[in-house]
Amino acid sequence: MNLKKYFAYIKVVETGSLTKAAEMLNYTQPGMSQMITSLEEEYGFPLLLRHKNGVTPTKNGLTVLAAMREIQRGYEKLSETVNEINGLETGEIRIGAYTSIATNWMPKILGEFKKLYPFIEIQIHEGNASELDHWLEEGKIDFGIGTFYNKKWNFEALFEDPIVVVMNSQHPLAELNLIPLRATESAEFILPYSDTHFEVHQVFKEEQIEPNIAYRIKGDETIISMIRYNLGISLLPSLLLTNCTNDIVMKPLKNPVSRKIGILLHTTKHSQTPSVNKMIDFIKEWIKKNN
């Protein structure tokens, strides 16, 4: 078993480039290419599709990628465990998080975590619900911070994030203290895409209400910007609106609705590396203290 070849292939797939992967792993481009070719000869099938602008894994390449990532994480777990026994706190943590989490909470969490564990490297992948699913499936991230909706992953609840009605401060509905969901049937409504905020779609489905859709938008910042210009109202999680200015008003629904945010794990927590377990425990304690 040649771990260097496995790790090289994983990095090539992650970067989509032999050249970039070689630079990151301090190999030459020909040397990187030779390692991949050696793996392909050993396995008897191609691992990569070569394009003008980079490379992508073949179907078989994706299949073996998952197994290689398991080997990589096993090796990392062993290395971290040995270092921990010797009094060293090292490791690499890859986290996938919703925009609202990555923007509003992770800088604070990471700042405090790094003071305790300065030699642990942390990667943040910002994405929506479907992207977190994909990253967990292929092993690109160690865990996600998002909502529990498809029952595919192990889930550890962290907090309830209210879904609120968002509008310009000059909008007629801004005078109300509580907004009935049916108000969305008459007011121009900005609907987020389902892969970004599926909870919003679920609310309308459960209540059998069809909002007056003026726009369908993918992108939280774009939705907020359009609300700022009074182009419509929307339903968004309150955490996403932490840093909004005074021209944006948030009003609770008459019948409160929330999304449950938590840790999403592909496997049980005990199969993670020591550094990942430390981060998960730290996040849980941090949220308890700050909410």
State the Cα torsion 122-125-128-132 to the nearest 10°. -70
What single DSSP character describes residue 166? E
Q: How many domains does the chain have?
A: 2
For residue 77, is it within any domain?
A: yes
Whole-number pLDDT of residue 140: 85
**Are the beta carbons of 146 and 261 closer than 8 angstroms?**
yes
Question: CA-CA distance, 62 to 46, in Å (whole number)?
Answer: 11
Q: Which residues of the chain have pLDDT under 70?
A: 1, 86-88, 150, 267-270
With H, G, I as helix, E, B as strand and everything else as coil, classify residue 243: coil
Whole-number pLDDT of residue 273: 84
**Are the beta carbons of 223 and 234 closer than 8 angstroms?**
yes
Enter the tokens of residue 173.
């509905």
Question: CA-CA distance, 163 to 200, in Å (whole number)?
Answer: 8
Last residue of a domain, one of 41, 59, 88: 88
Residue 117's Cβ-side half-sphere holds a number of Cα atoms within 13 Å equal to: 23
Q: Residue 51 belongs to a domain with what CATH number?
A: 1.10.10.10
Based on the fold, state whether residues 168 and 256 are members of the same structural domain: yes
Whole-number pLDDT of residue 122: 93
Specify burial of residue 255 (Cβ count, 10 A radius: 0-12, 13-18, 19+): exposed
**Cβ-based neighbours of 17, under 8 Å, separated by 6 or more:** 54, 55
For residue 141, is it within any domain?
A: no
For residue 219, is it within any domain?
A: yes
Whole-number pLDDT of residue 83: 78
Whole-number pLDDT of residue 86: 67
104: left (phi over 0), alpha (psi -120 to 50) or beta: alpha
**Model confidence pLDDT, tens digit, residues 106-127:** 999 999 999 999 989 999 999 8
Q: Residue 208 belongs to a domain with what CATH number?
A: 3.40.190.290
Tokens 């975590």 -> residue: 113
Range of the domain at 165: 160-260
Whole-number pLDDT of residue 270: 57
Last residue of a domain, one of 37, 59, 88: 88
For residue 105, is it within any domain?
A: no
With H, G, I as helix, E, B as strand and everything else as coil, classify residue 17: coil
Whole-number pLDDT of residue 88: 67
